[in-house]
Amino acid sequence: MFVFLSVLASLAFLFAQFGASNATYDRASIILVPGAFHQPIIYDKVTRLLNDAGYRSIHAIALPSVGTVNNSRDPDINAVRSVLESELANGKDVLLVGHSYGATIIGEAVKGLQSDSTQSSTLLKRFSLFWDGDLADAPPQLIFYNDLSTQQANFWVNKLLFSDFAALSAHATYIPYTGDFKCVYVMTALDNALPPIWQQTWIDQPGALFQVEYVNASHSSMLSKPKEVAEIIRKAAGEHNVKG
């Protein structure tokens, strides 16, 4: 079984790929996990680009903690794990992509799985982002969408939902980027939610092993730079000669 993990910084992606050595398909299945407050439609642009590149099995997960109080992040983990296990049972390689809080969820979802030493795996970054709903001093247009037009930013602000605080504040029980998996960390240079200097602290953690990619984008780089994000995902999935 192969495991690939990757996390994108502000757009924190965690990619995890698993699969059997006798796989006969050309493209991995991809599981896209949004961050706090966001719905899976945030990945629509990236999904279309991946479809154009030949990826046919793409699952954007609606996190139970977004818009609902569960008093736990376990439902989020289980939502990802169930899709992951289903794809693996069908003999698929799987690439997990986690944005921001979503990266912590995919990290937990792969707990107990192991990477095959002959395969590459990528992991971006794991972190939780807290936003207290302060629209005056910390408007989401500035925090999440500062490289979008005013019209686009307002559109996405209207899509935001509350997130379960217990889920956001839960502690990690597994850290996958210390050698269990080959990990890629994507830094976002225009991020107002997690400025680059903060992102660097995750990369510089003692024992953390990351390959680092860079995107000149805000926290929501899948919206402002979907082409670049899709290319990073494709490279994490094992494609060669991908522009980027």
Q: State the Cα–Cα distance between residues 244 and 239, nearest whole angstrom.
A: 12
- Do residues 13 and 130 make contact, with C-beta atoms less than 8 angstroms apart? no
**What is the tens place of the pLDDT at every residue in 157-169?**
999 999 999 998 8
- Kindly state the average pLDDT of the residues 173-179: 83
Q: How confident is the model at residue 38 (pLDDT cuts 50, 70, 90)?
A: very high
Residue range 5-236 forms a domain whose CATH class is alpha beta
- Kindly state the average pLDDT of the residues 77-94: 90
* Domain limits, the chain: 5-236
pLDDT at 93: 83
